[in-house]
A and B are shown apart, each in its own frame.
Chain A
Amino acid sequence: MQRKILEFANLLRQSGLRVSVSEAIDAFEALDALSIADRDVFRDALRASLVKRGDDIATYDQLFDLYWSGFYDNLKNAFDSATGSLGEQGIDVQQLLEQIRQMLESGQMPEGEVDLSELARALLTGDLNQLEQMIRAAAAQAGAARIENMLQIGFFSRRTMEALGAEGAANELRELAARLRAAGMGDAEAEAIGKLAERFFEALRKSVRDFMERELQTRNFDYMEKFRREALFEKSFYSLTEEEIARMREVVNRLAQKIKNVMSIRRKRRKKGKLDLHTMLRRNAGHGGIPFELVFKEKRKDRPKLVILCDVSSSVANVSRFMLQFVYSLQECFTKIRSFVFVAELGEVTPVFQDHDVSKAIEEALEGGGVINVYTRSNFGMAFHTFWRDFLSSVDAKTTVLVLGDARNNYNDPKAWCLRDVHTKAKNVIWLNPESPSAWGFGDSVMDKYLPYTTMAEECRNLRQLSRIVDKLVL
């Protein structure tokens, strides 16, 4: 049992859960304290001691089913159906098995000793517990833990059968049947034994294959998931499908949560300032003015104010979408967020975010939020000019201005001086461009004109880059 629990703990680890040794020991203790006859209690006890994060519970439940819902049951099914089909042929399997068992136990084998291997013995006596253990051991020996894809099932099944010594056992059984016949056993009975051996052997083969399939499922449970997540991180925003956008939203939320957690620690680490004499005297008045407790002024870290300018033309829509989602999931990390969208016209969509929940507001903002026409050609110059004219007053020395766009200006006037003025007033101007820096300034890209007026300009084409930038932003 302990081995099985350790193996299960290992499996959980492979699927990305953190299970320490001491937690596995807790699981043993918990099971000692309980009767494990009740499956639900068993499940809950393991869960309480091994799984410590709410997010992991779903994974645990699935793996628990896969792992504990018993290979044994499958084994039993296979052998039951084998005996069943023999029964249809008019063979009383139970009696036959009983007969064989007696023969083996009494050691009265015809024609001297027939040295039956362990496997053959287990097959003949229908000892499924023993069989299960043997299959597990053989699979381990065959390296089944390394199984990675469907195509390997056949290979590992074969190797496990070899490790089991299945071929030898089959021969032994055939020989046994022949000897029994020679010893004067009735033809029918001997034949029945032969058939029994054959069927059981078949059941064994099936079970081993089945075992491999389960193995693959459990090992790979998180593999696909992880693979897809990794891929999502690297995947360019340009080529996301509808479904991927939905999944991406989840990932962004999780990332935002992570950043928030880090933030809560970071804000604590602000340095202590000078001695706060006033407060200290007041607080120590009870001690006759003797300063037992020192009180320091605290240096608070300012939370940045954020102004976001989002290009919502189709080429950058996805970058804008995830950036907005990020920023609004991190709302509490900023004192104030104002968001603007533009293609050629520029308009403020902050109210949209106040009225609706985030995901809906984002979709609406990408449609222009009812303030701009999105079915025009990009014109950064015009957009910046509008911002400069109407909203420059919203930028102050605590404001970070975030521009999302590819700077493909359709050969219009870039009006870089608008951005220059913004740059002088703002704390930071950060430009995120989904194109790689080597393309900046070529064709109709005017990125090179804007570049001098940014504090930081980064390529932002996938989630990994985006999350890195957001991390810098809240720092």
Chain B
Amino acid sequence: MFETVEDVQKDLEKQGYICNRRIATVVYLACKLEKPVLVEGPAGVGKTELAKVVAKASGRPLVRLQCYEGLDEAKALYEWEYSKQLLYTQILKEKISEVMEGTKSLREAAERVGKQDSVFFSEQFIVPRPLLHAITSKEPTALLIDEVDKSDPEFEAFLLEVLSDFQVTVPEIGTFAAVTRPIVFLTSNDAREMSDALKRRCLHLWIDYPDEEVERRILQVKVPGMDAKLVADVVSLMQKLRGLDLKKTPSISETIDWARALLALNASVLDEDLVKDTMSVILKYEADIRKAQQELSRMMTKATPPAATAPGMPVPPRKKGTLH
């Protein structure tokens, strides 16, 4: 699929995903060793996106399982279709009485029914959920288990079998082993630490905020038609904002949103007023915005040459939530 680490980097880039060597190395290893990858990192750095892009780059359909509190095996692995079973017993009533014909005792009847009961617990009556689907699919898939930290600790136990042996056991039928092994990505925001058993079965990838150069390239790919100078200014300001002690540090998705907003506003130069007006795109807490505004003039003088800023200009009051 991918021949070298460089291949991974190139193929992902073709899909519009700029990544560093580290990410490429781990993706390459995951494909090569057929091991799941646990992707961690702050929100909005492209963890889920990575899985989607790898699926696209390798031409595999993506099977996605979104985790949440209370997710159980019936929703993640498989479920018996009770109503279908019920319906079938109704429809097949006559057939059943045919089977029962000539039985003399209750015991004999029960035995005959017992011989048939596997009919009602066959694959026909199983509703495959994402995990089983990914395992039994004839063509190779990419499986994304999103926000696995939101699921309950018990749910992790279900995952272990899938992740280490790529198989699912249904007690009534037996074991479904994977025809082709899927590439598995698990993403986590670190809301809860995953169990060691789960971690042991995965490769670990920590995606951090990108450095300036990577972020510039991301913007160029994601928001085409933006002036190179503006891109550089936006990125350098974002990098500085991340240095502040904020409640929610802005990440790449915010950078992209902001760049799009600036593009929509037809902005060509990044000046202080513009930043203040559009800040609600980047920062999501009132306290953060206040803090950033205090620091803004200091950061801006470094972000743009002094000529571009307009010192002494009256600052218009920021309208609340204009861009939310």
Whether A30 sits at the interface, judged by CB under 8 Å, is yes
Bound form: Cα–Cα A282–B24 in Å: 50
The contact string, 1 if C-beta is below 8 Å from chain A, for chain B 71-85, is 000000000001100
Whether A106 sits at the interface, judged by CB under 8 Å, is no
B33 is contacted by which of A23, A26, A292, A356 (Cβ under 8 Å)?
A26
- Assess A22 versus B200: contact at CB under 8 Å? Given A41-B5, A48-B25, A290-B86: yes
Bound form: Cα–Cα A34–B196 in Å: 26
Q: Are A26 and B35 in contact, with the CB atoms below 8 A?
A: yes
Q: How many residues of B contact A (CB 8 A)?
A: 34
Whether A468 sits at the interface, judged by CB under 8 Å, is no
Bound form: Cα–Cα A88–B138 in Å: 72
Whether A268 sits at the interface, judged by CB under 8 Å, is yes
Bound form: Cα–Cα A261–B33 in Å: 32
Interface locus among A52-60, A97-105, A126-134 = A52-60
A51 is contacted by which of B32, B41, B192, B204 (Cβ under 8 Å)?
B204
Residue of A nearest to B285 (CB): A357
- Assess A33 versus B32: contact at CB under 8 Å? Given A261-B192, A357-B287: yes
Residues of B within 8 A of A261 (CB): 192-193
Bound form: Cα–Cα A52–B196 in Å: 9
Please provide the chain B residues from 9 to 31 with a CB less than 8 Å away from any CB of chain A in the complex: 21-22, 25-26, 28-29
Q: Is the interface of A mostly helix, strand, loop or mixed?
A: helix
A301 shortest CB reach to chain B, Å: 15
Q: Are A54 and B40 in contact, with the CB atoms below 8 A?
A: yes
Q: Are B83 and A287 in contact, with the CB atoms below 8 A?
A: yes
Whether A151 sits at the interface, judged by CB under 8 Å, is no
Residues of A within 8 A of B21 (CB): 40-41, 44
A310 shortest CB reach to chain B, Å: 23
Whether B247 sits at the interface, judged by CB under 8 Å, is yes
Bound form: Cα–Cα A356–B247 in Å: 11
The contact string, 1 if C-beta is below 8 Å from chain B, for chain A 31-44, is 00110000011001
Q: Are A48 and B204 in contact, with the CB atoms below 8 A?
A: yes
Bound form: Cα–Cα A29–B153 in Å: 29
Bound form: Cα–Cα A22–B32 in Å: 17
Residues of B within 8 A of A30 (CB): 29, 33, 203
Q: Are A52 and B29 in contact, with the CB atoms below 8 A?
A: no
B117 shortest CB reach to chain A, Å: 16
Please provide the chain A residues from 342 to 374 with a CB less than 8 Å away from any CB of chain B in the complex: 356-357
Q: Are A26 and B203 in contact, with the CB atoms below 8 A?
A: yes
Residues of B within 8 A of A (CB): 5, 21-22, 25-26, 28-29, 32-33, 35, 37-38, 40-41, 82-83, 86, 152-154, 190, 192-193, 196, 199-200, 202-206, 245, 247, 287
Q: Which 3 residue pairs spanning A and B have beta carbons closest together?
A: A52-B199, A44-B25, A33-B32
25 of the cross-chain contacts (CB-CB < 8 Å) are: A18-B196, A20-B196, A20-B200, A30-B29, A30-B33, A34-B28, A41-B21, A41-B25, A44-B22, A44-B25, A45-B25, A45-B29, A47-B22, A48-B204, A49-B203, A52-B199, A52-B202, A261-B193, A268-B153, A268-B154, A287-B82, A288-B86, A357-B245, A357-B247, A357-B287
New A-B contacts (13) at CB < 8 Å, excluding given A30-B29, A41-B25, A53-B199: A20-B200, A26-B33, A30-B33, A34-B29, A41-B21, A44-B22, A44-B25, A47-B204, A48-B203, A49-B29, A53-B204, A54-B41, A357-B287
Residues of A within 8 A of B (CB): 18, 20, 22-23, 26, 29-30, 33-34, 40-41, 44-45, 47-49, 51-54, 57, 261, 264-265, 268, 286-288, 290, 292, 356-357
